[in-house]
Copies of this chain bind each other. A is one copy, B any other.
Amino acid sequence: MPVTLKELAARARVHPSTISRVANNDPSLRIAPATRTRIETLLRETDYRPNGVARGLKLRQTFVLAVVIPDVTNPFFAALFRGVEDGASSRGYNVLLCNTDGSPERQRSHLLSLHARRVDGIVLASSYLKDPTVRWLRHQAIPYVLVNRFSDEAQDPFVGSDDLVGGRMATQHLIQLGHRRVGHLAGKATVSTGVLRRRGYLAALADHGLEVDSHLITESGYTEEGGARAAERLLTAPNRPTAIFAVTDMTAVGAWGAARRMGLRIPEDVAIVGYNDIPLASRLVPGLTTVHVPIHEFGSAAARLLLEQIETGDAIRRRVIFNPELIVRGSTVAGTDAPAGLRPIAALATE
């Protein structure tokens, strides 16, 4: 068992509170230099560290944050988590990671658990539109930030990108390349990113006077497999699209695989655009054209927003919106991939 204040007090023949004050360098403490050094050496010898649980109870602060995401196995969320941890660990916080696998039920039970644990703040990246769990969260006295997806327009502290602009940008790129039949692998109608990116897609069509063909839009969900199936539906249809805008990179990767399996050349037979710019996007051959968003910054910005709320003690409704940016690669324009010698290498991947 680790040493406690009481034990140290007994050994130093002083009151526990004195030890605590020395350990915490309490400026209000007046103490004889001799006593101080005696206590300090004792602290050092025993390698004393205050019990974080007791400390958390007394201070009403646990120095623990939590990140709730669908699945850390998805590179997008892994990078997001790193952003949060990098922003928080230097300030003495540890971070819990909760995977929901997209289940509202699991999300709910995780949040209840985190609340009971009195974590100091929650980063929620798995929320749905009009999410009841988010509503519940608003009434709890616990700082939180929604990331990437929001639940109700402009209600909650939020970090993300402008998905409408991004979706428009991606679609416009395809249209400007001459494509007239542009398909869309749509996200769910219950998720903000799905709705907005689809709206961006429609806006781009309208911008260029193209008619909406509902057969060109199909829901793919957010999984690679969903993307593959949806792409197969689109590409085997009578009047198939010559280009596809997928709601996320993972979905695009699914489409990418489906196209290859069907013997279609990318980008000659079908062009593909994704969203998020995960590392995998640049590793495919041809590279995946995609809408870049600063994933790591999503996380660190969320951490900042959380810490600000924790430190000031009141809820901040600020929204941080990053501008999405189109990255053109070989999946839409042949020969665009960086020349061999200069091909960027994803950095820092240990073991």
Q: Which residues on B sit within 8 Å (CB–CB) of A250?
A: 349-351
Q: How far is the CA of A284 from the CA of B260 in the complex (A)?
A: 13
Contact with B along A224-261 (1 / 0, CB 8 A): 11001000000000000000000010100110010011
B62 touches A53 (CB 8 A): yes
Give the shortest distance, in Å, between A70 (CB) and chain B (any CB). 4
A300 to chain B, nearest CB (A): 13
Contact B50 A53 (CB under 8 A): no
A173 to B211, CA, bound (A): 56
How many angstroms between the C-alpha atoms of A97 and B98 in the bound complex?
Answer: 10
Distance in angstroms between the alpha carbons of A212 and B96 in the assembled complex: 47
A223 to chain B: which residues have CB within 8 Å? 347-350
Please determine whether A343 and B72 come into contact, CB atoms closer than 8 angstroms: no
Task: Tell me the bound Cα distance from A66 to B96 in angstroms.
Answer: 8
A51 in contact with B351 given A99-B82, A285-B285, A345-B224 (CB within 8 Å): no
Apart from A71-B349, A254-B345, list 4 A-B contacts with CB within 8 A.
A73-B78, A74-B349, A223-B347, A248-B351
Q: Could you tell me which A residues sit within 8 Å of B by CB distance?
A: 1-2, 49-54, 56-57, 62, 64, 66, 70-79, 81-82, 85, 89, 92, 94-99, 101-102, 112-118, 125, 140-141, 148-149, 193, 221-225, 228, 248, 250, 253-254, 257, 260-261, 263, 279-280, 283-285, 340-341, 343, 345-351
Query: Shortest 3 CB-CB distances between A and B: which pairs?
Result: A70-B350, A52-B117, A49-B116
